[in-house]
Structure 1
């Protein structure tokens, strides 16, 4: 296996760009004064993105995945994103183990 220098440089450049944009977002975010309605709207974005990612799975897979997506959708209304996704994964694993 050979390592191409241009590939390695491209990976490091992409990593630097990703880190820079994330850090800039954090720094700029601290300077902004947001209204309560804007904060509420921004808090709705992560569950919306999660549903956009898992919805195709719900309609293109079996029953276990569909039920798992429903669990994610319902739990995302009350739980943070990571526990909601973990609940969906656990649901799919259990249902697959049961043969669904």
Structure 2
């Protein structure tokens, strides 16, 4: 069963990711954006996701380290939503299996 704090953290991360995308476009909606600016705005949610995942790199829990490796492999080949889903499921399953 997922803890309330874990669910709250997931929901807040999703809100932060969504907010970075929508607020950037809303703030600049009346301006003509260069291709470079559009690339930066498209990359912002990924940056938020990386800042959330980064602490797992220093984890001493085997389940987290294996889930991190699975997530990195998925990120190389799959779109972001699929990678996030795989990360959540693999972390949950591995934490249950390995503790």
In the TM superposition, 1:21-60 aligns within 5 A as 25=23, 27-60=26-59
Runs ≥4 residues deviating over 3 A: 24-29, 70-78
In the TM superposition, 1:1-100 aligns within 5 A as 25=23, 27-76=26-75, 78-80=78-80, 82-99=81-98
Offset of 1:36 from its aligned partner?
Answer: 0.9
Offset of 1:97 from its aligned partner?
Answer: 3.7
TM-score normalised by structure 2 residue count: 0.56
Structure whose CA Rg is larger? 1
Within 2, Cα distance between the matches of 1:30 and 1:55?
32
Q: How many residues get paired?
A: 78
| RMSD of aligned alpha carbons | 3.0
Query: Do 2:62 and 2:98's aligned partners in 1 also have CA atoms closer than 8 Å?
Result: no
Give the unaligned 5+ runs of structure 2: 1-18
TM-score normalised by structure 1 residue count: 0.55
